[in-house]
Amino acid sequence: MSPRRPEIGGGGPTPTPSAEPGASLALWDWRRSVADLYAEVRRLPPREGWEVWVTERRSLLRTHPQSPVTAPERPTTELPVFPYDPTFRLVATVEAAPTRPIALPMSAGSMVPAHAFGLVHLELGGTACDLTLFWLEDYAGGVFLPFRDSTNGISTYGGGRYLLDTAKGADLGGMRGEVVLDFNFAYHPSCAYDPGWSCPLAPTENHLPVAVEAGERLA
């Protein structure tokens, strides 16, 4: 069995030393595409930006050589999503928290080092929720926000989804000290499309006690 491919963060894959020729160039293009997409989304009204995001993310998954979807399945990839729901768009103040190291679980069973540095308090469906923001230690670093909710394993991937991965450009912005958290943009990690990927997942503290019926879903 070939080794699992690592995905540090969620905005795209990471090539291994044995990757085929041209993989690094393709990865560079993938990251540029993701960063450009989020830059465009930040300039648009929320729902219009979401419609662009869905269309362009579907195109990347179908056509890009660095798509996490296996090549035979790419042409028919539909990218199912929940209908847009404005109540799942929030602007949260980031509460600085004492920095503490944490090992985030990986889908392949290993761990990846990070440190927690911030906390956001939310209300989703009338339920008070907290999410921890992490800074990845490995690879390119950056803010990383994975989460799980009660849709996991039913209508969304069992390992959860991602909201932020700033090293890859997946960031909806916010004023200083704030962050835009729009769950309509929640997306699946690469391992949801192909178990050959090894992806960081949300620790227990980022398990939400509600159903987040927004963002990417399973077919």
pLDDT value for 10? 41
In-domain check, residue 219: no
| pLDDT, position 20 | 67
Task: State the pLDDT at residue 30.
Answer: 93
Q: Quick check: is 211 in a domain? A: no
pLDDT for 22 equals 82
Please report whether residue 217 resides in a domain. Answer: no
| Number of Cβ atoms within 10 Å of the Cβ of 65 | 14
Q: Which structural domain, as residue segments, surrounds residue 200?
A: 5-206
The answer as to whether 53 is a domain residue is: yes
Q: What is the pLDDT of residue 5?
A: 52
Radius of gyration of the chain (CA): 16
Does some domain include residue 33? Answer: yes
Cβ-proximal residues to 127 (8 Å cutoff; 6+ apart), any chain = 209, 210
The C-alpha atoms of residue 206 and residue 130 are separated, in whole angstroms, by 7
Residues facing 180 on adjacent strands: 91
Rounded to 5 degrees, what are φ and ψ at 215? 85, -160
Measured in degrees and rounded to the nearest 5, phi and psi for residue 166 equal -70, -25
Give the global pTM: 0.90
CB 27 within 8 A of CB 13: yes
Q: What is the pLDDT of residue 2?
A: 32
Look at residue 73 and tell me if it is in a domain.
yes
Which residues of the chain are modeled with pLDDT < 50?
1-4, 8-18
Q: Is residue 60 part of a domain?
A: yes
Going from the C-alpha of 38 to that of each of 74, 146, 169, 218, the distances in angstroms are 22, 17, 7, 22
Distances in Å between the Cα of 56 and the Cα atoms of 61, 63, 169, 202 are 9, 10, 14, 26
What's residue 17's pLDDT?
A: 40
Domains in the chain, number: 1
Residue 214 maps to a domain: no
